[in-house]
Structure 1
Amino acid sequence: MSSSSALRVAVTSSKFTFPSSAFVATGLGLAGLYYYNQERPNPTPSLNPLLAAAPLAAVVAGKSQADFQSVYNAIALKVQDQDDADNGAGRYGLLTRLAWHASGTFDKKKQAGGSYGGTMLYAPESTDPGNAGLEVARDFLAEFLVEYPWMSRGDLWTLGGVVAVQEAGGPKINWRPGRQDISDKSKVPENGNLPDASKDGKYVRGVFTRMGFNDRETVALIGAHCLGRCHTYNSGYDGPWGPSFNMFTNDFYVRLLQGWHVRKWDGPKQYEDDETNSFMMLPTDMAMKEDSHFLKYVKMYAEDQDLFFNDFSAAFTKLLENGTQFTTDNKHLVFQTLDEQDI
C-alpha cells in the first residue's frame, strides 16, 4: 500500500488501529504544525489543511518514546507543583480516578465504551454521578491538549493516570498511544456503567466481569483507593482511606483487614476505622473483606506489596486499553519518573 493510500485508510476508518510505518512517510511535515480540534480549549488553526482533516493517528505515528516522555514530564511537574492541593492529597488520586473512570465504561460483550474515544467530555457520560468532580481533572490536563496537540483526549487522560501512579511511588505501568478523539454522541456510554460504591460483593463481581476482569484483577484494581480521598460535594462520601493518600502502597489492604464500624453521620453508609475514626472504607471496599473469594487476594496483597504492584500494573494496563485495538508494531512504553531523571 502506498503512503497516500495508508493515509486515506486512516482518515476513513471508523475504528483506529495504531498505524504502520507507512504513515511516517506521508510527508506531512509534522514539525511546527498544529492540529485543529474544535472541542479543545483555545484551538489553534492548523497551518496545513490536510493535517487539520487527518486523524491524530497520522501525527502520533511519527512520535518517539522521548516525545511521550516529554508529555509525561510536563504532567508530572504540574502534579508536583500542586502537591499540597486538596488538603495535602495532591492530584495523584484525582488523575488516577480520571484514567480509571474514562476506561471503566467498557463492556466486553458489546465491545463498547472504554477510554478509546475520550467521550467523558460529552453527556450523558460527563454527567454520570460516578464522574462528579472529574471536570477538575480534565481541566488540570486541558493545557496539555494545547501544548501537545497531537495527543488525543483518551491518550492524555490515561497517561495522566500512569503519571499519578508512578510519581506516587507505585509500579511501572505499560502504556501506549492509540486512542482517537470521538465527537459522535451516539458512541457516548450511558450512565450506570461505573461502579456504585454502595453495593455488595455480588454487584462488584458483576461490574468487573462486564469489563473482562477476574476476582484477582478486581481486588488489585480497587487497591488504587490508597490514593486520594472522597468528598461529600462529589460522591457524598467523606474522607481518606488512610494517612498516606499521596503515596501508592499496599496500605489499603493492610487497613481493610483491621477493625471497622459503620460511621454515624448524616451521609450515605460508609465505614470508619475503630482505632482513630479518621479513615474510611466504602461498602464496596468492605465487600472485598466480606467475600471469601475476594478476601484471599486482600490478604495476599496486605502481606506482599511487590505482588500487589505486579498485579496492579498488569490489571491497570488492561483497564486503560480495554476498547482500543492496537497493531502488533505498537509496542508498550515505560516511562521514567522525575526522580529517575533527576528532574
Structure 2
Amino acid sequence: MAAPLVDADYRKEIGMARRDLRALIYSKQCAPIMLCLGWHNAGTYDAKMKTGGSNGSIRSGVELKHSANAGLEIAVGFCKEVKSKHPKITYADLYHLACIVAVEVTGGPSIDFVLGRKDSLESPEEGCLPDARQGAKHLRDVFYRMGLSDKDIVALSGGHTLGNAHKERSRFESLPWTTDPLKFDNSYFV
C-alpha cells in the first residue's frame, strides 16, 4: 500500500482518531496492551536491511501468532473499532498513535507524532523481538539490530512501568511490574 496522502483531511482524521483512542484506552483501561502493540509493531525494525518496523504488519495472522505477540489480538481488535470510524488512517499510523496515546493517558510525557506510515502485510520471521529469558547478549543483539544503544535499551525498558506480566502471554508470573500498572512514571527503574 502506498503511503497515505498526508493532507489537512488526513491530519483532521488523525485528530479524531486520537480522541477516540483516548476514550477507548481510558474506558477499557487498556493502556499497557496498547503500548505493547505499538512496541511490538515497531520492534521488528532492522536498521541495516531497512525492513520491518512500524508498518502495521502485526495485524497479519502470521505475525500476530508469533509467540512474543501472544495476547495482542486484543489490542488489534480494539484498534479495529477505531479504524472502522477512521478508514483513511493506515494501520501503521493507528498502532503507533495508540501507543503514544497510551503513554499520555497514563500520565506520561506528550510525544510528537509523525504521521504518514504506510501499511504492509509482509511479516518478519519469528524471533525478531527480545526474549528476556535468553539473557543480556540476546537482548543486545536484538536492540543493536534496530540501531539502538545500551542507553536506549535501558530507557525503553522503562515502558514496563505500565502493565502486568501475564503468564499466558509472556510466560512470566502474573505480577504487576510496578505498584500501579496504569500510571506511567519512573517506578519500574526504582
TM-score band, normalised by shorter chain: over 0.9
2:12 and 2:104 map into 1 onto residues whose CA distance is 17
Larger Rg: 1
Partner of 2:14: 68
1:153 and 1:145 map into 2 onto residues whose CA distance is 8
Counterpart check, 1:200 vs 2:135: yes
Identity of aligned residues (%): 34
Partner of 1:171: 109
Partner of 1:248: 184
Does the C-alpha gap of structure 1 residues 93 and 107 become closer, same or farther in structure 2, counting only changes over 3 Å?
Answer: same
Q: Kindly tell me the number of residue pairs found equivalent between the two proteins.
A: 189
Counterpart check, 1:98 vs 2:37: yes
Runs of 4+ residues over 4 Å off in structure 1: none
Alignment map for 1:139-150 (pairs within 5 Å): 139-150=77-88
For structure 1, list consecutive stretches of 5 or more residues without a partner in the other structure. Answer: 1-13, 17-56, 83-89, 255-343
Q: CA RMSD in A?
A: 1.6
Q: TM-score, normalised by structure 1?
A: 0.53
User: Which stretch shifts more, 223-232 or 199-208?
Assistant: 199-208
Alignment map for 1:321-340 (pairs within 5 Å): none
Partner of 2:49: 110
For structure 2, list consecutive stretches of 5 or more residues without a partner in the other structure. Answer: none
2:19 and 2:8 map into 1 onto residues whose CA distance is 19
* Greater length-normalized contact order (CA 8 Å, ≥ 6 residues apart): 2
What do the CA deviations read for 1:25-60 (whole angstroms, capped 9, x no partner)?
A: xxxxxxxxxxxxxxxxxxxxxxxxxxxxxxxx13x4
- More helix by percentage: 2
Alignment map for 1:22-61 (pairs within 5 Å): 57-58=4-5, 60-61=6-7
1:207 and 1:63 map into 2 onto residues whose CA distance is 38
Structure 1 residue 124 displacement after superposition = 2.9
